[in-house]
Structure 1
Amino acid sequence: MKDHLSLEERVLSGLDEEQRQVATALHGPVCVLAGAGTGKTRAITHRIAYGVHSGVYQPSRLLAVTFTARAAAEMRTRLRDLGVGAVQARTFHAAALRQLQFFWPQAVGGALPNLLEHKAQLVAEAARRLRLGTDRATVRDLAGELEWAKVSMLTPDSYLAHASERGTPAGFDLTTVARVFGAYEELKADRNLLDFEDVLLVTVGILQEDARIAATVRDQYRHFVVDEYQDVSPLQQRLLDLWLGGREELCVVGDASQTIYSFTGATPQHLLRFASTHPQAQVIRLVRNYRSTPQVVGLANAVLTQRRPAGKVADALWATPLELRSQQASGEAPQFLECPDDEAEAAAVARLVGERIAAGTPAAQIAVLFRTNGQSEAFEQALAGAGIGYQLRGGERFFTRKEVRDAILSLRAAVRAAGTGHDGDAEGAGPDSPPLAQQVKDILASIGYTEEAPAGGGAVRERWESLAALVNLAEELVLSRGPGLDLEGFVAELQERSQSQHVPTVNGVTLASLHAAKGLEWDAVFLVGLSEGLMPISFADTPEAVDEERRLLYVGATRARAFLHLSWSLSRTPGGRAHRKASRFLEGIRPGSAAQAGPAAKRRNRTERPALTACRVCGTLLSTAAERKIGRCANCPASYEETTFEALRAWRLETAREAQLPAYMIFTDATLVAIAERKPTSLKALADVAGIGPTKLEAYGEAVLELLAAS
């Protein structure tokens, strides 16, 4: 039947009613409010194709603009498939750079200055000119602040007047940041360089000052489409206005509830005010969600609707959210899990991920999403320990981060300086030496570790999180291996774990920050670390910042197609004080929260914690994952024979070498201790040891039993 349809009719076939409204609204201004998973890219690409095929648009005179190279590439692919590959789809910067390269000779003369791909080195030099001590993380935060200032169209002179609410970027007062800004701009001018933001700024300047060039650009492009319009900065909006030159042949697409980049200068205000700025605008809402099940959509909607008034300023900036309506079949209810500590949460998530994979969900269709990159290490370790491949998106693997590499170098240097040998009689391992964790803290203090987390976010905070993760690991290893673990042993353990990062994990589970997950989707999504201080993040200290954190959680939830799991922990480290609580954003959503049930039901329906286990020696309740795995508390002496434990370790090392895996991926030390103490004599008894699942039982069970029988 479709063969008898015209080309234009075929372009429109398969669109729902609202998408068809978008595709046939060929003259601007048009504002498309498109919720997550509602097919906005499909709607706008079919609009472009329908306009071209019906003769309304000339392909060379339409410019589609989006925010990432990946999104622009996807749009070009779809346009090509629809037979309109001549239409340009570019990022703001790519479009501006093309115009700048063309018009620079006539507008300015001479060759276009060189483009500065990375500003960190120049920012560091500007800081050094002012005799400021800066490390890599501080430079990154300073660079981010300068980018915010420039997309907000501020200069070093006007920065102070408009940055009063920016706090202390990179730990500096605003006056100091303004001085760094000025020195950076001077260095660029001296070396004839343009940075990323200058491409937009200079293009804006040329279009404002040269009427002939502006007329040429406006004659070239008659129609504009802007995707992700909630993310435009003041500078990008100014460029768009100059391209338009007062015309209204513009279609914008966005969702204010997905505004999660305000810290970069993005603002949804242009989207929210579009109808008042353009009184003749046609506003179309896309709310049919084709991505997720009703259960996932219902939770995502609730994350936004549970928001309560937060003051005049915040309420004015909060947009009434679109209420999504799922078009998928009913699925699983979202699951919630409260854990005693971060280690237990990571272990539980790894186990559940393994169950999903065993049930048929491809690993590549599973994601673990967290608020900060510093949270990744626990999940990297847990997945690796479970033999599950993973890939880290939007950040470096934990052991390849510069601060982690620097930390390991510092720890190695301390081992050499102490003259530590393999016999454990070194200065750093004596009876009067500080505990291992304290030694690690003291050594890492030289590269930036502090007992208290730094205020604010950004690279400085992420650097601290990475160093703190190493301190936590030292504390956990002492508990599982005993106080005899010295600094050299800890460094050897770090080296062994770092090697696992080189194992190919092409078809692995995705680990990503919530920001890096924007625009992506998976069958199953695990949202982790949903406790106060992480979600919302501790430095979200204004109602507006908290609202952005809420939107970030909404974005994370809408990444899931069929299954959504939400978890949090009560303590950062095993055995730590349970001072955390679940994120306020889960109130009224998770089972047993105040808005869902009364006091009696709240206690009855409360999310279950891991079962309480008593020490098999003294009967004390075990409080950490490591203690529960071994089956006794840290205060009770080990009951295994040293020769048995050493035989198990030797077997593990040989097995790991043959499999080209790090030793802890065969069995962790805690599991070896538990095996040595229990000395199981059958596969069934061995399976009762924590950390030995069906896969490891099949792979190593017979060998372990044979070794135990011989020892």
Structure 2
Amino acid sequence: MKYTEEQLASIRHPRGHSVTFAVAGSGKTQMLVGRVAWLLQQGVAAKHIRLLAFNRSARAQLQDRIRVALPMGAEMPRISTFNSLGHRLCELFEREQQLPRHELSTSEALLKKMARRALVDALAAGNEKGPVSAEMLDDFVAFIGLAKADIEPPDVVLRRLPAGNGRAFFCDAFVRFERNRQERRVRFYDDQVRDPVLLMRAEPATAQRVTNKFDVVIVDEFQDVSRVQLELLVILVGTRAQLNVVGDDSQCIYAWRGARPEFMGRRFDTCFPGATRYTLSRTFRFGHQVSLAAAHLIRHNRHRADTLCISAPSTPNTAISLVKAHNTGQQEAVVEAIAAWCRRNGARRQVAVLARLWAQLMALELALLEHAIPYYKPGPALFDLPELAGLLGYCRLAAGTLFAEPRAREVVRAMLTTPTLFLSANALDNLVEQILSAPEQAGRLIADAAPRKAPNWKREPFYLRAELWRAAQHAWTGKGAADALQVYAVQTGLRKALEGDATDATTEKRLAYETLLHLAQASRATVTEFVAHMDRLRASQRDYQAGSDEILLLTTIHQAKGLEWPCVVLTGLEAGAFPGKRAALEEERRLAYVAMTRGRSQLFLVIPPDAHFQANMEGRPPPLHGKPSVAVSPFLYEACLPASIELGAVLHQCRPEDVGAVRLPAAPASNQALLQRYLRAVASSAESSGAT
């Protein structure tokens, strides 16, 4: 096995703690395998080495790579996930009666039931009445997971959230949730690490059963650790073990489950002082254009190590191309770009389309179905999305096909919750069943569901929804689908609700509405014709999912982390959608960085038509008048695409001995330093080989 000099430095780290910053595609897994082999060669017993990975898939991959690299019959060090280790600690402390015996539950339904009960009680204790909406419940469940990824009190965790100020009652609800969990003697997935860690912190004597048992602890993907996992490592390492970790703080995209870049920075230094720092700066995945664009983008983040990703000489000439299409509009340009690439380069399975949110893929999904292009999406099926089901539901009601739907119950529920009427779960269930039992009485049933003692502003949405239902049921048969959707948006207050909120859940609903409205406007179909067309697309979707292997992949950026493809299409690059309006900016920028660094040969960036950005790409002054209805994501300006593409193309064609003579392209003064630094790094780089 051949290694680069940077990899060898990390592999042969002599003693003490170490942290290796590994850029995307730098062969970090290969380095970890080499590290294990080197330690065993130095006489460290396999049983005294512990490796930690984040999930079973990563664990299995690492185990297979190490097994192949070691001599036949050599003893393997143990590889665990954090949760499997936490589970064994729970069992240990239960046997020793340090922790009460709890049953492990994987039931999301039970967790949500307990969360809802905790919210209701917390609101009542604060003299607040009213049902718990689905959005509030989802937010609280997410908060539970985030709080359990930390060791700080829930109020400290809540203060870190962008919208935390309006959810102060979450802290009381969390305490109630935990009290109920202890009474039920149940342990959820997030408790498996937290419960033993809190025990060992509260009772140091129990930690002696765990600490100082290893000589070396190795952690992969360290940028993904949470605070509670970090505390487990502190206990595990103790004063005996050396901790060797590898990761990329620029790819820290799991803040929603407690990961923070500082855990590779100042917090690591506090917990494990004196650590040696190594860098794997050469990527073997993508070419100079992507390296430069990604470097320009991520340099705007303050909370990161000053690493620079450099393309190795062996990398392909990864091209960056722009494709113009509104995220919720016509996708012909995207479909053609994918088709043209496949005609030149090979099968559709080599293509992945990535988006920040599932709903950002909706318009493209519909276009692929229209063109009979097979695809696979690991997320929710398009026509099962509540956002889409609710909107189409009123068209189905007008067409007379609603109650013949196999999923009529789910569709009616979506119709009553898009936007929400703020019914409790039980009240909503009852109303859905009543409507299914007496469809002709639905308007009256909805009006009767209005809270009788509530003020008029709380009752009015029920009356408007009832009126809408009656109109759709009896007067919309020949109505245009686009007109029907616009009436729906106004009468339900959907448009106003979507404009007044900027959460991801609201953005998903807005995208679904705009996508469906655009399609209806383009088709000029009546509601009956539109529903029939949607049903034909739905039927064809089922065929594709069970058919050819020649399918392209649609997925989210979060699900794409750690993966790569020859061709990547990044869509949804619109201001206000990416970055999300209420999302943490640096987290969003890291997400964009991850997306940009997944492709090997081609990166398509799907952007809305934007004359200002086009002028930027061409080096012209921006237009004096008029702003685009939808602007490109600010991240594309930050990526300094004109200079990145120009210099990247030159460097790919340049002989190593001529790199020093390359002239920098025109670029803003703020970008010149990075361009110069990159050029110097390429000029001084020796030919690297052996890493893939």
TM-score by length of structure 1 reads 0.70
Task: Quote the offset at 1:92 in angstroms.
Answer: 1.1
In the other structure, the counterpart of 1:498 is 538
The structure-2 alpha-carbon separation of the partners of 1:80 and 1:359, relative to structure 1 and needing over 3 Å to count, comes to: same
Look up the SS of the partner of 2:51 in the other structure. strand
Question: Contact 2:596–2:603 (CA<8 Å) still a contact in 1?
Answer: yes
Question: Contact 2:568–2:598 (CA<8 Å) still a contact in 1?
Answer: yes
Structural mapping, 1:168-183, within 5 Å: 168=163, 173-183=166-176
Look up the SS of the partner of 2:498 in the other structure. coil
Look up the SS of the partner of 1:524 in the other structure. strand
The structure-2 alpha-carbon separation of the partners of 1:50 and 1:397, relative to structure 1 and needing over 3 Å to count, comes to: same
Task: Indicate which of 159, 164, 171 corresponds to 1:164.
Answer: 159
Task: Indicate which of 57, 66, 88 corresponds to 1:79.
Answer: 66
Whether 1:338 aligns to 2:338 is: no
Question: Contact 2:162–2:582 (CA<8 Å) still a contact in 1?
Answer: no
Task: Quote the offset at 1:250 in angstroms.
Answer: 0.6
In the other structure, the counterpart of 1:255 is 248
The structure-2 alpha-carbon separation of the partners of 1:59 and 1:318, relative to structure 1 and needing over 3 Å to count, comes to: closer
Percent of matched pairs sharing the same residue: 25
The structure-2 alpha-carbon separation of the partners of 1:180 and 1:596, relative to structure 1 and needing over 3 Å to count, comes to: farther
Look up the SS of the partner of 2:79 in the other structure. strand
Task: Quote the offset at 1:284 in angstroms.
Answer: 1.3
The structure-2 alpha-carbon separation of the partners of 1:522 and 1:353, relative to structure 1 and needing over 3 Å to count, comes to: same
The structure-2 alpha-carbon separation of the partners of 1:525 and 1:454, relative to structure 1 and needing over 3 Å to count, comes to: farther
Look up the SS of the partner of 1:55 in the other structure. coil
Task: Indicate which of 481, 485, 488 corresponds to 2:528.
Answer: 488
In the other structure, the counterpart of 1:293 is 287
Structural mapping, 1:267-346, within 5 Å: 267-273=260-266, 274-275=268-269, 278-305=272-299, 307=300, 315=302, 317-339=303-325, 342-344=328-330, 346=331
Letter in 1 for 2:347: P
Task: Quote the offset at 1:563 in angstroms.
Answer: 0.9
- Please list the CA deviations of residues 286-327 of structure 1 after superposition, one character each: whole Å capped at 9, or x if unmatched: 01111112232232223224x2xxxxxx74x34323332334
In the other structure, the counterpart of 1:381 is 366
The structure-2 alpha-carbon separation of the partners of 1:592 and 1:92, relative to structure 1 and needing over 3 Å to count, comes to: closer
The structure-2 alpha-carbon separation of the partners of 1:475 and 1:290, relative to structure 1 and needing over 3 Å to count, comes to: closer
Look up the SS of the partner of 2:600 in the other structure. strand
Question: Contact 1:522–1:559 (CA<8 Å) still a contact in 2?
Answer: yes
In the other structure, the counterpart of 2:195 is 202
Whether 1:25 aligns to 2:13 is: yes
In the other structure, the counterpart of 1:142 is 140
In the other structure, the counterpart of 1:101 is 91
Task: Quote the offset at 1:534 in angstroms.
Answer: 2.0
Look up the SS of the partner of 1:334 in the other structure. strand
- Please list the CA deviations of residues 166-208 of structure 1 after superposition, one character each: whole Å capped at 9, or x if unmatched: 2436xx9222222322332232122111122221121113333
In the other structure, the counterpart of 2:380 is 396
Whether 1:242 aligns to 2:239 is: no
Separation of aligned partners in 1, 2:231 and 2:381 = 38
- Please list the CA deviations of residues 24-80 of structure 1 after superposition, one character each: whole Å capped at 9, or x if unmatched: 225331111111100111101221122224422x22232211223221221111122
Letter in 2 for 1:166: L
Gaps of 5+ in 1: 1-12, 308-313, 600-711
In the other structure, the counterpart of 2:416 is none
- Which segment drifts farther, 274-283 or 496-505? 274-283
Separation of aligned partners in 1, 2:104 and 2:275 = 41
Question: Contact 2:93–2:99 (CA<8 Å) still a contact in 1?
Answer: no
In the other structure, the counterpart of 1:438 is 486
Task: Quote the offset at 1:440 in angstroms.
Answer: 4.0
Task: Quote the offset at 1:227 in angstroms.
Answer: 1.4
Q: Find the structure with the greater CA-based Rg.
A: 1
In the other structure, the counterpart of 2:149 is 151
Separation of aligned partners in 1, 2:270 and 2:563 = 32
Task: Indicate which of 493, 496, 506 corresponds to 1:461.
Answer: 506
Separation of aligned partners in 2, 1:79 and 1:556 = 28
The structure-2 alpha-carbon separation of the partners of 1:527 and 1:479, relative to structure 1 and needing over 3 Å to count, comes to: closer
Instruction: Give the number of aligned pairs.
Output: 552
Letter in 2 for 1:300: A
Separation of aligned partners in 2, 1:71 and 1:475 = 41
Question: Contact 1:365–1:523 (CA<8 Å) still a contact in 2?
Answer: yes
Separation of aligned partners in 1, 2:68 and 2:329 = 47
Task: Quote the offset at 1:104 in angstroms.
Answer: 1.3
Question: Contact 1:296–1:563 (CA<8 Å) still a contact in 2?
Answer: no
Question: Contact 1:160–1:174 (CA<8 Å) still a contact in 2?
Answer: no
Question: Contact 1:127–1:133 (CA<8 Å) still a contact in 2?
Answer: no
Whether 1:70 aligns to 2:57 is: yes
In the other structure, the counterpart of 1:611 is none
Separation of aligned partners in 1, 2:481 and 2:564 = 50
Look up the SS of the partner of 1:182 in the other structure. helix
Separation of aligned partners in 2, 1:108 and 1:598 = 63
Question: Contact 2:319–2:601 (CA<8 Å) still a contact in 1?
Answer: no
Question: Contact 1:79–1:87 (CA<8 Å) still a contact in 2?
Answer: no
Whether 1:42 aligns to 2:90 is: no
The structure-2 alpha-carbon separation of the partners of 1:356 and 1:37, relative to structure 1 and needing over 3 Å to count, comes to: same
Question: Contact 1:294–1:328 (CA<8 Å) still a contact in 2?
Answer: no
RMSD: 3.4
Task: Indicate which of 365, 380, 383 corresponds to 2:350.
Answer: 365
Separation of aligned partners in 2, 1:75 and 1:598 = 42
Look up the SS of the partner of 1:107 in the other structure. coil
Whether 1:91 aligns to 2:91 is: no
Look up the SS of the partner of 2:602 in the other structure. strand
Gaps of 5+ in 2: 124-128, 401-438, 442-471, 611-625, 645-663, 669-692
Task: Quote the offset at 1:462 in angstroms.
Answer: 5.3
Structural mapping, 1:656-675, within 5 Å: none
In the other structure, the counterpart of 2:581 is 538
Question: Contact 2:502–2:580 (CA<8 Å) still a contact in 1?
Answer: no
TM-score by length of structure 2 reads 0.72
Separation of aligned partners in 1, 2:327 and 2:138 = 31
In the other structure, the counterpart of 2:630 is 580
